[in-house]
A = this chain, B = another copy of it.
């Protein structure tokens, strides 16, 4: 699983002393964006070519709290693609620990220049994790 690093800042926490639940979706975005970049093309370049991947569904399960200054590893993989959608799956841990703090997924449509559904570019379709393809 590809891993992105995130350092939890004060602004990510809430008064319970833990990361606010919506902020995991920000971490997920960071991770999938780095996954794309690690495969040779950035999401910014994809957009420049007329494609976009708007989120159509997001889910998140909160298993244990992340805290201020934690160094998080946000694992991300692509378990499935269809001709016009792409799914990312996420798993958040603390660096050096195995406990899973959070899991989640996002499903994205692929839109082309006209804003209409488009076929996923080949390089994106090729991101499907071998283990889950």
Contacts and interface: CB of A to CB of B under 8 A. Distances in A.
B11 A11 contact: no
Contacts of A25: 11, 21-22, 25
Interface string A36-60: 0100001110000000101111111
Interface string A5-20: 0010111011111101
Counting chain A residues whose Cβ lies within 8 A of the other chain, the interface size class is: 35 or more
Copies of chain A in the complex: 4
Nearest to A31: B9
Contact of A69 (B11, B43, B57, B67): B43
The interface residues of chain A, by DSSP majority, are classed as mixed
Contacts of A15: 10, 13-18, 67-68
Contacts of A59: 57-60
Given A57-B61, A69-B44, A26 B22 contact: yes
A33 interface: yes
A65 B18 CA distance: 19
Interface of A: 7, 9-11, 13-18, 20-23, 25-26, 29-30, 33-34, 37, 42-44, 52, 54-62, 65, 67-69, 106
